[in-house]
Amino acid sequence: MSESWPKHDMSFLQGRRPRRLRRTEWSRNMVRETELLPRDLIWPLFVIEGQNERTQIKTMPGVERLTIDLLVEAAKAARDAGIPALALFPNTPDHLRSEDGAEAYNPDNLMCRALAAIKSAVPEIGLIADVALDEYSSDGQDGLVRDGHILNDETVAAMVRSALVQAKAGADIIAPSDMMDGRVAAIRHALDADGFEHVQIMSYAAKYASCYYGPFREAVGSGSRLRGDKRTYQMDYANSDEALREIEQDIAEGADSVMIKPGMPYLDIVRRAKDAFNVPIYVYQVSGEYAMIELAGAAGAINRDAAVLESLWAFKRAGANGILTYYALEMARKLGR
């Protein structure tokens, strides 16, 4: 058989055979350009009122909302797996939601109590506090609304108050996710003036008006009450130069790191940001991305575990320093092994 197989003149390769490097696993590992480690992963967690309770999120199979006591246990598991930080999102009870979102700056709100409990029990892990009003407002918008319009400066003032109570409760990183103009500078000034110079700001600098947030809005209880859309403040997904302008402005205003959201559909933005700016770049593998992998895996359309790994490596390859992902604990444990 081998004698009858036609032989071709391959001299044109001049010794260049890239497959030699891919022939064995040890060789592939030796020349691998990108690393994916537990320290690259940030775990988003949803918190609810109650004791020893967990509730399923219908559109996010395998993800649960947790009461504070269970959140503390999750934080311990994350620490033990090598995850450096958690990102917290509260599901505020309906009776505490209002048009002005005042619960956002109640120092005894659900978010602040969760921050304090985790910081007391697991001081080694970083805590990232989301700052936006959609988790506290009765209309599901990230900003205050008047006559159908989203108010910028009034929203920023409310967010500053929210950031301060979160910092006092133990937040290590304030993460404004609203996309209001000037909020990074306002929050930085307020934190510094109140003695929180050490608290970082991770700005959602390029947050697109995306359909991929649907399951998240169910998780925090804002989806069913959302009136209108968020296109007047979140970014148009047709634009990429605009993202660089937004990132540049947030860095100038004092952001220590920036985030791009969603993740996989915006890898081009991650790459451009990494090339353009000398700050840590984070990406959020959002709820819709998670749901697509889970549902496709359950349907047998893809290998779920392989898809998870491939997606996370894509974020790192694009230039992300870290990834917010609901797979953080699962993948940190696998990568640790």
Query: Does the annotation mark 261 as catalytic?
Result: yes
Q: Is the dihedral of CA 321, 326, 332, 335 positive or negative?
A: negative
* Backbone phi, psi, residue 196, to 5°: -110, 45
- Interstrand relation of 41-48 and 85-90 (parallel, antiparallel or unpaired): parallel
Q: Tokens 């609810």 appear where?
A: 48
How long is the chain?
337
Scored b (16 or more CB within 10 A) or e, 122-155 reads beebebbbbbbbbbbbbbbbbbbbeeeebbbeeb
Tokens 């209001």: give the residue.
180
Residue type, 154: E
From the list 221, 232, 159, the residue with the least C-alpha distance to 189 is: 159
Q: Confirm whether residue 246 is marked as ligand binding.
A: yes
SS (H, E, C) 23-70: CCHHHHHHCCCCCCCHHHEEEEEEEECCCCCEEECCCCCCCEEEEHHH
> How many beta carbons lie within 10 A of that of residue 80, not counting itself?
14
Q: How far is CA 167 from CA 109, 225, 271, in A?
A: 13, 28, 31
**Which stretch of DSSP H or E encloses residue 89?**
strand 85-90
Contact 233, 260 (CB under 8 A): no
Structural contact between residues 178 and 135, judged by C-beta atoms closer than 8 angstroms: no
Nearest to 288 by CA among 212, 179, 174: 212
According to DSSP, residue 222 is labeled -
> Is 207 designated active site?
yes
Alpha carbons within 13 angstroms on the beta-carbon side of residue 95 total: 1
Q: Check 119, 207, 230, 316 and give the catalytic one.
A: 207
Report the distance separating Cα 19 and Cα 28, nearest Å: 10
Residues at the binding site for Mg(2+) are: 246
Residues at the binding site are: 246
Q: Which residues are catalytic?
A: 207, 261
